[in-house]
A and B are shown apart, each in its own frame.
Chain A
Amino acid sequence: MSTHDRLHLGLTRRHFFSRTKYGIASAALSSLLNIPSTRAEPTDTDLSQIRHFAPKAKRAIYLFAAGAPSQLDLLDYKPKMKSYFDKELPESVRRGQRLTTMTSGQARFPIAPSIYKFKQYGPSGAWISELLPYTAKMANDIAIVKTVWTEAINHDPAITYITTGDQLPGKASLGAWLNYGLGTANDNLPAFVVMTPRWSAKRDAQALYARLWGNGFLPSKFQGVALRSQGDPVLYLSNPSGVSQKTRRRMLDTLNKINQQQFETTQDSEIQTRISQYEMAYRMQISVPELTSLSDEPESTFKLYGPDSRQPGTFASSCLLARRMTERGVRFVQVFHRGWDHHGQLTRDLPLQCRDIDQPAYALVQDLKQRGLLDDTLVIWGGEFGRTTYCQGKLTEESYGRDHHPRNFCIWMAGGGIQGGLVHGQTDDFSYNITDKPVHVRDLNATILHCLGMNHSNLTFPFQGLDQRLTGIDAKARIIHELLS
Chain B
Amino acid sequence: MTFIPIGQSNIRSAILIFIFGTLVTSWNMAALSAETELQFDRDIRTILSKNCFSCHGPDSSKRKAQLRLDRQDGIFSKRDDHAIVVPGDSTQSALFQRLISEESSRRMPPVDSGKELTPQQIHLIRKWIDQGAPWQTHWSLTTPQRYSLPTVTQKDWPRNSIDYFVLAQLEKIGLPPSPEADRRSLIRRLYLDLTGLPPESHEVEAFVNDPSENAYGSLVDHLLDSPYYGEHMARYWLDIVRYGDTHGLHLDNYREMWPYRDWIVSAFNQNMPFDQFTIEQLAGDLLPDPTLQQQIASGFNRCNVTTSEGGSIKEEVYVRNVVDRVKAFGTIFMGLTTGCAVCHDHKYDPFSMKDFYQLFAFFNNIDGEPLDGNRKDHAPVVRVPQIEHQQQLQQFQKQKNQILSEQSIRAEGADKDCKQWILKTQTLLQDNSPLLIGLLGHYPIDKRDTPELINLVNPEQKVPFHGSTSWTTGISREAIQLGKEGFANLGDIGNFERTQPFSLGAWIKTNGNQEGSLIARIDHEHGNRGYEFTVEKQKIGLNLIHLGPENTIQVRTKENILSPDSWTHVFVTYDGSRSAQGVRFFSNGQPVSSEIQKDQLRGTTINQVPLTLGGRGDGTASFEGEIDQLRIYGRSVPESLISQLANLDPVREILEIKAEQHTRDQFTTLKKQFLERIDTRYIELVNELQTIDKREKEVTSRIPTTLVFREQSELRPAYILVRGQYDQKGDPVFRESPYALPPMNSELPRNRLGLAKWLLTEEHPLMARVTVNRFWQQCFGRGLVNTSEDFGIQGERPSHPQLLDWLALEFREKGWNIKSLMRLFLTSATYRQSSDTNRQQQNLDPENKLLSRAPRFRLDAEVLRDQALAISGLLIRKSGGPSVKPPQPKGIWNAVGYTASDTANFKADVGDNIYRRSVYTFWKRTAPPPTMNLFDAPSRESCSIRRERTNTPLQALAMLNEVQFFEAARHLAEQSIRNGGVSEQQTLIYMFHRATSRFPNAQEIEALFSLYQSNLTEFQSDSESAMAIVSSGQLPPDKTLETASLASWTMVANVLLNLDEVVTRN
What is the minimal beta-carbon distance from B854 to any residue of chain A, in angstroms? 11
Q: Is the CB of A236 within 8 A of B898?
A: no
Query: In the bound complex, do residue B951 and residue A18 qualify as a contact, i.e. CB atoms below 8 Å apart?
Result: no
Interface centre among B305, B339, B961, B1010 (most CB of A within 10 A): B961
Contact B309 A239 (CB under 8 A): no
Contact between A196 and B23 (Cβ–Cβ < 8 Å)?
A: no
Check A280–B953 contact: CB distance below 8 A.
yes
Distance A1 CA – B116 CA, assembled complex (angstroms): 10
Task: Report A-chain residues with C-beta under 8 Å of the C-beta of B935.
Answer: 220
Whether A465 pairs with B794 at a CB distance below 8 angstroms is yes
Chain B residue nearest in CB terms to A219? B948
B900 within 8 A of A: yes
Q: Are B936 and A219 in contact (CB under 8 A)?
A: yes
Which of B12, B953, B1014 is the one whose CB lies under 8 Å from A4? B12
- Tell whether, in the assembled complex, residue B22 and residue A220 are in contact, meaning their CB atoms are under 8 Å apart: no
Q: Are A465 and B898 in contact (CB under 8 A)?
A: no
Question: CB < 8 Å: which of A7, A206, A462 contacts B13?
Answer: A7
The answer to whether B856 and A266 have CB atoms under 8 Å apart is: yes
Asked if A255 meets B250 with Cβ closer than 8 Å, knowing A168-B942, A209-B896, A220-B933, the reply is: no
Which B residues between 996 and 1036 are near A, CB-CB below 8 angstroms?
Answer: 1003-1004, 1007-1008, 1010-1011, 1014-1015, 1018, 1024-1029, 1031-1032
Cβ contact within 8 Å between A239 and B961 = yes
A277 to B939, CA, bound (A): 24
Closest to B9 in A: A4
A 242-287 contacts with B by CB, 8 A: 242-244, 247-248, 250-251, 254-255, 257-259, 261-263, 265-268, 270-271, 273-274, 277-278, 280-281, 284-285
Residues of B within 8 A of A226 (CB): 895
Name B349's closest neighbour in chain A (CB-CB). A465
Interface 1/0 per residue, B1022-1052 and A, CB below 8 Å: 0011111101100000000000000100010
A232 at the interface (CB under 8 A from B): yes
What separation, in Å, do the CA atoms of A247 and B331 have in the docked complex?
Answer: 49
Contact with B along A149-181 (1 / 0, CB 8 A): 000011110000000000011100000000000
Instruction: Determine the chain A residues whose CB is within 8 A of the CB of B310 once the complex forms.
Output: 100-102, 154
Q: Contact check: which of B305, B857, B1004 meets A261 at CB < 8 Å?
A: B1004
Knowing A240-B966, A244-B1025, A258-B1007 touch, does A207 contact B890 (C-beta < 8 A)? no
* Set B16, B846, B901, B1024: member contacting A207, Cβ < 8 A: B901
Contacts of A209 in B (CB 8 A): 252, 896, 926-927
Specify which chain A residues have a CB less than 8 angstroms from the CB of B252 in the assembled complex: 207, 209
Q: Which A residues are in CB contact (< 8 Å) with B349?
A: 465
Is A415 in the interface zone, CB < 8 Å from B? no
For residue B312, CB closer than 8 A to chain A, the reply is yes
CA distance A266 to B856 in the complex (A): 9
Q: In the complex, A101→B308 CA distance in Å?
A: 11
Chain A residues within an 8 Å CB radius of B116: 3, 6
B1028→A238 contact, CB < 8 A? no
Evaluate contact between B311 and A102: CB separation under 8 angstroms: yes
B307 close to chain A: CB less than 8 A = yes
Distance in Å: Cβ of B1021 to nearest Cβ of chain A: 13
Is B795 at the interface (CB under 8 A from chain A)?
yes
Report the separation of the CA atoms of residues A20 and B331 in the bound assembly, to the nearest whole angstrom. Answer: 26
Q: Is the CB of A3 within 8 A of B1014?
A: no
Q: How far is the CA of A153 from the CA of B315 in the complex (A)?
A: 14
Pick from B468-476, B836-844, B975-983 the stretch touching chain A. B836-844
Partner of B890, one of A19, A221, A231: A231
Q: Does B706 touch A at the CB level, under 8 Å? A: no
- In the complex, the answer to whether A239 meets B960 with C-beta atoms within 8 Å is yes
Does A24 count as interface, using CB distance less than 8 angstroms? yes
Evaluate contact between A242 and B23: CB separation under 8 angstroms: no
- In the bound complex, what is the Cα–Cα distance between A100 and B371 (angstroms)? 14
Known contacts A3-B116, A7-B23; A267 and B793 CB within 8 A of each other? no
Quick check: B1059 and A259 within 8 Å, CB to CB?
yes
Q: Measured between alpha carbons, how far is A175 from B195 in the docked complex, in Å?
A: 37
* Residues of A close to B811: CB separation below 8 A: none
Given known contacts A231-B891, A251-B1051, A20 and B846 CB-to-CB distance under 8 angstroms: yes
Contact of B1015 among A247, A257, A271 (CB under 8 A): A247
Q: Assess the A270–B856 pair: CB atoms within 8 A.
A: yes
| Secondary structure dominating the interface of A | loop
The answer to the question of B249 belonging to the interface, with a C-beta cut-off of 8 Å to chain A, is: yes
Min Cβ gap B265→A in Å is 26
Closest A residue, CB atoms, query B834:
A266
Assembly CA distance A231 to B888 (angstroms): 11
Q: Across the interface, which residues of A come within 8 angstroms of B22, CB to CB?
A: 11, 15, 20-21
The answer to the question of A80 belonging to the interface, with a C-beta cut-off of 8 Å to chain B, is no
Q: Is the CB of B337 within 8 A of A204?
A: no
B110 at the interface (CB under 8 A from A): no
If the complex has contacts A209-B926, A220-B933, are A465 and B114 also in contact, measured as CB distance less than 8 A? no
Q: Give every chain B residue within 8 A of A274 (Cβ-Cβ).
A: 951, 956, 1060, 1063
Chain A residues with Cβ below 8 Å from B309 are: 154-156
A-B contact count (CB 8 A): 302
Q: Kindly identify which residue among A100, A169, A284 contacts B312, using a CB–CB cutoff of 8 Å.
A: A100
User: In the complex, A234 Cα to B1008 Cα: how many Å?
Assistant: 29
**Beta-carbon nearest neighbor of B847 in chain A:** A20
A237 within 8 A of B: yes
A7 touches B16 (CB 8 A): yes
With CB as the reference atom, state the residue of chain B lying closest to A223. Answer: B933
CB neighbours (8 Å) of A4 from chain B are 9-10, 12-13, 16
CB distance from B761 to the nearest CB of A (A): 24
Contact pick for A156, options B250, B934, B1059, CB 8 Å:
B250
Residue B324 is within 8 A (CB to CB) of chain A in the complex: yes
Min distance, Cβ B958 to any Cβ of chain A, angstroms: 5
Q: Which residue of A lies closest to B114 (CB)?
A: A457
Within 8 A of B (CB), among A465-483: 465-466, 473-474
Chain B positions within 8 Å of A238 at CB level: 961
In B754-790, the 8 Å CB interface with A consists of 787, 789-790
Q: Is B20 an interface residue (CB 8 A)?
A: yes
A2, B836: Cβ atoms closer than 8 Å? no
Which of A196, A244, A267 has the most B CB atoms < 10 Å from its CB? Answer: A267
Is B837 within 8 A of A267, CB to CB?
yes
Q: Please tell me if the beta carbons of B948 and A18 are within 8 angstroms of each other in the complex.
A: yes
Indicate if A107 sits at the interface (CB-CB under 8 A): no
Q: Chain A contacts of B792 at CB under 8 A? A: 465
Q: Which B residues lie within 8 Å of A250 (CB)?
A: 1011, 1014-1015, 1051
Q: Report if B111 contacts A (CB, 8 A).
A: no
Q: Which residue of A lies closest to B725 (CB)?
A: A151
Is A255 a contact of B1055 with CB atoms below 8 Å?
A: yes
Tell me, in angstroms, the Cα distance from A226 to B9 when the chains sit together: 41
Listed by A's residue number, 25 A-B pairs whose Cβ atoms lie within 8 Å are A4-B9, A20-B846, A24-B952, A101-B311, A156-B249, A190-B954, A207-B896, A209-B927, A210-B896, A211-B939, A211-B941, A219-B948, A221-B950, A235-B934, A236-B889, A250-B1051, A254-B1010, A262-B1060, A266-B837, A274-B956, A280-B956, A281-B954, A281-B956, A464-B337, A465-B795
- Please name 8 further chain A to chain B contacts, defined as beta carbons within 8 Å, in addition to the given A250-B1051, A474-B62, sorted by A numbering: A3-B116, A24-B952, A102-B311, A208-B896, A255-B1055, A259-B1061, A270-B951, A285-B957
Residues in chain A within 8 A of chain B (CB atoms): 1-4, 6-8, 10-11, 15, 17-24, 27, 98, 100-103, 153-156, 168-170, 190, 196, 204-211, 214, 218-221, 223, 225-226, 228, 230-232, 234-244, 247-248, 250-251, 254-255, 257-259, 261-263, 265-268, 270-271, 273-274, 277-278, 280-281, 284-285, 403-404, 457-458, 462-466, 473-474
Complex A-B, nearest 7 residue pairs according to Cβ-Cβ distance, in ascending order: A100-B311, A242-B1028, A465-B794, A170-B942, A169-B941, A207-B898, A4-B9
User: Which B residues are within 8 Å of any A CB, using their own CB?
Assistant: 9-10, 12-13, 16, 20-23, 54, 62, 114, 116, 118, 248-252, 305, 307, 309-314, 320, 324, 331, 337, 339-340, 344, 347-349, 787, 789-790, 792-795, 835-839, 842, 846-847, 856-858, 889-891, 895-901, 925-928, 930, 933-936, 939, 941-942, 948-958, 960-963, 966, 1003-1004, 1007-1008, 1010-1011, 1014-1015, 1018, 1024-1029, 1031-1032, 1047, 1051, 1054-1055, 1058-1061, 1063-1064, 1066
